[in-house]
Structure 1
């Protein structure tokens, strides 16, 4: 029995993505006549297609796609970016009447503009670019479900998540399961699927009102009924390329799977059975493109007649329809030679200016260089001190790999402190209460799991004995006294660091859910100190 389709929020489900039909009418008519001729005469090229009666109607549709933007709208020192993608999209729309832009998630994350606006900066740029639909990635929840919901309120396109459910039951109201888009009369169903890794990657409190169901089971339930409503079905997936191929094998019915999450550059036309798998890498360094023709018979039944790259590249045909050369690969590189789209620039500039004002504010002075790197990075110790001061915890721990920048001696701005931290995921701070025995067990478990020390610490000192299995704690002090197993201590750190410590040391009482981040802690610590000395080292000492 086919599952009944959930009803998405009104106004999000159906959109007309056609271009100006008067301008294109004659050109598209000529194009379809040429396609019909090719279909009839070039059986070696179009071996899977037969031309039907004169009543058949052909429609050319172009899907363009991005994924894992991570807020890259106007990158200043690299290729790619949404604004360049929008310029290329504008050119494609000028040549073709039925163009739909889809994005496969991880949108509102990764830049100061999104950090300060809660994701509204990139959503506004996507509105200006003309994105028709997107799916929710795991990073959409980095600022919490409430912040994500506020960003969604600014979107002029549906952001989808069929397997993202409200904990009390039913679809999470902010994410419709699917959208049906119109492209020249062709009904294109787009089913959004989010990764189950979101649960592991996020602090539980950030997504406490949500559950993430198995995307494969969700697709199996929805595809049969959704197929009846559309002519073409697309999975807009934030599962990763390996899972996308599995989806194509295990859930029949998808014509195309446009993916994200794994940052995979799929530079060839990758078919799994009759399903085309696509992904552009990340950061809009390339724009994906899929061209296909839909044939509708006199009874109104529609089917895909040909896809560029399925049997051959359309660019290899002897006659180029309307003089247009279709792509000979699924990705269009976006390099610095492409100018940013003016509409996207206009929408994004207010957020860029606000970020520049924030980052340029003077906050203090470094009295010496504070570098990163080494067995005990001074910059990581500085961040650990900042976390302990902001939270008031007895002990603070920070992932040294997250502190990828250092500070040079001299005046410091908020931007200098901001750029100390290279990572964005789960940089929010959590404070818990643990016994001394738990702290010792937790740290020891982390050292053995990784085989080395990748934590900076504040408010405590460790003496470690190197062993083949990893460093072993010989002695630990907190607040200048030996750590007492039965005593209780407060411990603060990045959400994922605290998660790992609790996994190794056992459950702990959560005293403060994530709110401030390592970046805010570093900025406030430098502002408080004003004149910042290099932090002391020797907090973690290896015995000979």
Structure 2
């Protein structure tokens, strides 16, 4: 087998793991011939951010697929361990309305065996996370989170699970970045210790307890900008066989081997489900499955999701405030000019984070709110994406670059159009894109290009989404709750909303109107001219033949397009989107070898050349 994902897709249709059959032909094979007896399958998820419900448009498989996959492997004779590496209990309203309880109910139903908490699992506060852990029918594991008051572990350190006569020792780790990648108030009673030192102790303890295989369930990530990464963990801590990873939203389709340790991670939002397999001889292989290779669902999970969704509806009807004015979220307005809803949103972000300035993309505002009561449903309708608020210290120069990007499409409606707080500026649409922004002020004073300002924005833009690549390389100062939660808290504080636009964005010059070009009148043709034209035409055709090959090459070069990598992209996904075939990823890689060092690790904001296919 050349690629592990091939045999993983076969597992899903009960085909013997060792049969080297391509996924395209797998469905034709009988399910009765499979025997996975003696195999231990580690199914794993990470960074789901509340994406419990399948979403075909986003490729999110949902928990129904996780459950179906687990049952499929078990029906084939495999013994299964199901793990989650965190950032699971918070995100979309399905999770946040019940403060994570709906997700716990589903995880209990599916039969998870363990979970490590991610930084966003603390978004409801450490006390709420403790409450949720008591509702879980599986342990919430972290060996490096201590209670400041007494130095005791906040959660359970590890467990040992026996499958096929093998003892699997599993311990949890949480990123120390949690101290600032959730609201600090959420974790003020906790201390996040060095995960490497904690791991060394856990490996020793588990081996002393008789564990045959050591698994680190870690919300640490492989982002090189972090002090602690799972790659560093694997290098510095001997004895870990498998690291089930989260936090950096990395996708390691076949695992990342570091020394004797295999690191696995599925990306984000249940777009993939991870499968690591220990065969009868104890040899470990890993891969992922996605919606294109697995389409099964579990009706029992679907029923519970429907029930929970209905329960959420009553909660979403709660009134959180009132508005005396229509809050303008009309698509064409939010993407072309300052609106009062844009102002309100950006003000809430700045107020809730104590930032100097706030910028959010107009394309993220999806609806208006009418005069009268404002409900939770209004909030999640306006902001349906589950984005959360991030702060970063950025330069004044980066702020100006961001504003230039945001208005580059003006006057056409454009998703990146900036809705701002703490900033005022003018748009000179008579100038070319990149030099349109005028008279930028930060809280009333001219922007200092070299100064650092604390910026509040959404997580999508913070990593370069919508083209805001000027933000992605600045370190994250803090991460807060969901965007709609920040706005709800602000509205509750106001009580009654009566906001008008205040001129923070002004158009100082419109684009010049292009005069219509008069059509040149064709000269009349006399009776003698056609013969002359035929001769000229033949001459032109001879010249055309000579230049055909050069023109074809030039035409091909002229048709080169640029694709900007977005959050959640990987080469196969881009190939599927552009060409309808995942296998075309190799062409994209060949065209862009000069900037892609590792085809499994493309970066958000990278500009990829796409040639005609």
TM-score by length of 1: 0.64
Structure-to-structure mapping, 1:366-405, within 5 angstroms: 366=326, 370=330, 371-373=333-335, 376=338, 378-384=340-346, 398-401=358-361, 404-405=364-365
Q: Work out whether residues 329 and 339 of structure 2, in 8 Å CA contact, stay in contact via their aligned partners in 1.
A: no
The DSSP-based 3-state class of the residue aligned with 1:190 is: strand
The verdict on how the C-alpha distance between 1:220 and 1:395 changes in structure 2, with shifts beyond 3 A counting, is closer
Corresponding position of 1:274: 260
Structure 1's 422 and 63: CA in aligned 2 closer, same or farther, altered over 3 A?
Answer: same
Q: 1:307 aligns with which of 283, 301, 317?
A: 283
CA deviation after TM superposition for structure 1 residue 343, in Å = 3.1
Match of 1:352 in 2: 309
Counterparts of 2:145 and 2:139, CA distance in 1: 14
Q: Aligned-pair distance for 1:284? A: 1.9
Partner of 1:340: 297
Contact 1:465 1:473 in 2 (8 A): no
Unaligned segments of structure 1, at least 5 residues: 1-30, 36-57, 295-304, 310-328, 431-441, 484-490, 497-512
Contact 2:106 2:301 in 1 (8 A): yes
Aligned-pair distance for 1:372? 2.9
Of 175, 183, 191, 1:203 maps to 183
Match of 1:61 in 2: 40
Distance 1:395 1:246 in 2: 33
Matched, 1:186 2:166: yes
Is the contact made by 1:383 and 1:521 (CA closer than 8 Å) also made in structure 2?
Answer: no
Higher relative contact order (CA 8 A, sep 6+): 1
Aligned to 2:195: 215
Aligned positions of 1:394-433 closer than 5 A: 398-401=358-361, 404-408=364-368, 414-421=376-383
Name 1:75's counterpart in structure 2.
54
Contact 2:355 2:455 (8 Å CA) reproduced: yes
How much has 1:181 moved relative to structure 2? 1.2
Question: Contact (CA 8 Å) 2:45, 2:83: kept in 1 or not?
Answer: yes
Verify: 1:88 aligned to 2:88, yes or no.
no
Aligned-residue offset at 1:340: 3.3
Cα distance in 2 between the residues matched to 1:169 and 1:87: 43
The answer for unaligned runs of 5 or more in structure 2 is 1-15, 19-36, 224-228, 404-417, 429-433, 447-453, 460-480, 510-613
SS at the partner of 1:270? strand
Give me the whole-angstrom Cα distance separating, in 2, the residues matched to 1:461 and 1:120: 39
Residues 458-473 of structure 1: pairs in structure 2 closer than 5 A: 462=424
Task: Measure, in 2, the Cα distance between the counterparts of 1:493 and 1:517.
Answer: 14
Q: Deviations over 1:139-167 (max 9, x none)?
A: 11112112212221211101111111111
Which of 112, 122, 127 lines up with 1:131 in the alignment? 112
Matches of 2:424 and 2:313 in 1, distance apart?
40
Seen in structure 2, the aligned counterparts of structure 1 residues 524 and 291 have a Cα distance that, compared at 3 Å, is: same
1:520 lines up with 2:482 in the alignment = no
Confirm or deny: 8 A CA contact 1:463 1:543 kept in the other structure.
no
Tell me, in whole angstroms, the C-alpha distance in 1 between the residues paired with 2:388 and 2:136.
Answer: 24
Question: Which residue of structure 1 aligns with residue 561 of structure 2?
Answer: none
- Give the C-alpha shift of residue 216 in structure 1: 1.1
Establish whether residue 447 from structure 1 lines up as the match of residue 423 from structure 2.
no
For 1:13, the equivalent position in structure 2 comes to none
Q: Tell me if structure 1 keeps the 8 A contact 2:328–2:340.
A: no
2:230 aligned to 244, 249, 255, which one?
244
Separation in 2 of the partners of 1:336 and 1:218? Answer: 38
Among candidates 533, 536, 541, match of residue 501 of structure 2: 536
2:268 and 2:93 map into 1 onto residues whose CA distance is 18
SS at match of 2:160: strand
SS in 2 for 1:110: coil
Q: What is the alpha-carbon root mean square deviation over aligned residues? A: 4.6
- CA drift at 1:233: 0.5
Aligned length: 415
CA distance in 2, matches of 1:471, 1:94: 65
Alignment-derived partner of residue 582 in structure 2: none
Pick closer, same or farther for the CA change 1:267–1:172 going to 2, 3 Å: same
Q: 1:518 to 1:201 in 2, by over 3 A?
A: same
Return the offset for 1:100: 0.8
Matches within 5 A, 1:41-60: 59-60=38-39
On the 8 A contact 1:203/1:426 being kept in 2, the answer is no
> Residues 184-216 of structure 1: CA distance to partner in whole angstroms, max 9, x if unpaired?
332111111111221231222211011111111
